[in-house]
Amino acid sequence: MLSEVLLVSAPGKVILHGEHAVVHGKVALAVALNLRTFLRLQPHSNGRVGLNLPNIGVRRAWDVASLQLLDTSFLGHGDSAALTAKHVEKLKEVAGFPKDCVDPEHLAVLAFLYLYLSICQSQRWTEENLELINKWAFQGERVIHGNPSGVDNAVSTWGGALRYQQGKISSLKRPPVLKILLINTKVPRSTKVLVANVRSRLLKFPEIVAPLLTSIDAISLECERVLGEMAAAPTPEHYLTLEELIDMNQHHLNALGVGHASLDQLCQVTTAHGLHSKLTGAGGGGCGITLLRPDVERPAVEATKRALSGCGFDCWETSVGAPGVSVHTAASLDASVQQGLDSL
């Protein structure tokens, strides 16, 4: 039983290079983002387990005794037992949700219930075991995304930077910390539809699209090589190379048909301020990243952020290569994080 407050955080992630090409067996590079999600586990004596997700407006509570009486044999046994569609349907019954619920709020609750019920029946789970954390996080991803690659949970667990190809994930050694802007165009898109469209374009124009995917793979590999060199001694030339790779990849992604007018606008704004950007993830809107070289002066960064905000985009200044899942003491938290947790 938890006897004191436990504070844990994990980083978000972005794809540096390899979007869509990774679906076709090419290399993708994913990096942990120094924008973190914090979890506070706090013991209570009221016999209830509560869930509060303020960012998406979810607040739920269950009687622990009632949950303990549930027949959880449908979850299977062992560490992160494989999740199936039947598991998800059963969890909907437990939560009292309709069978057709697919909105993020309902799915977040189902992911919590699955992890809570499964982990509570496991006798070997420990917070120190990163492999178990990664496996459980993957199952939570499956509740929400159905058939995830495993990249998101792996990056958030181990942090740093990862190489992903055909289901094999490996860590990049000592990746440099790169400062970036993360920009959300706030244009919704369907990853499933965009992936299908790229596959359709590949079938229609194989001699055009296949070389594009091969070139994106080469960009990922060159970026991996440059990041390896930068771990020892970063130079201005390294950053110029990273900017060239960003520009080439963005043009390739547009050629694949996953660009969007909002992303074009994002790139035009940052180009006007001497910076280089590309989409990250599925494209079709969504988010982009902008590399901030060490020599970019503060007024230029602030002017770029104002211009992006003026376009209606959300913009965060952050860095990549962040630590993975971490345990904190209350005293170690930034004041803004502590204030946010105290307001829950």
Residues annotated as part of the active site: 152
* Torsions phi, psi for 281 (to 5 deg): 95, -140
Q: Strand 276-280 and strand 168-171: pairing?
A: unpaired
Letter string b/e over residues 105-123, b meaning 16 or more CB atoms within 10 A of that residue's CB: ebbbbbbbbbbebbeeebe
Cβ atoms of residues 29 and 18 within 8 Å: yes
Cβ atoms of residues 177 and 156 within 8 Å: no
Cβ atoms of residues 17 and 219 within 8 Å: yes
Q: What single-letter DSSP state applies at residue 325?
A: S
Tokens of 260: 């969007």
* Torsions phi, psi for 160 (to 5 deg): 70, -135
Burial class (CB in 10 A: 0-12, 13-18, 19+), 294: exposed
Letter string b/e over residues 164-193, b meaning 16 or more CB atoms within 10 A of that residue's CB: bbeeebeebeebbebbbbbbbbeeebebee
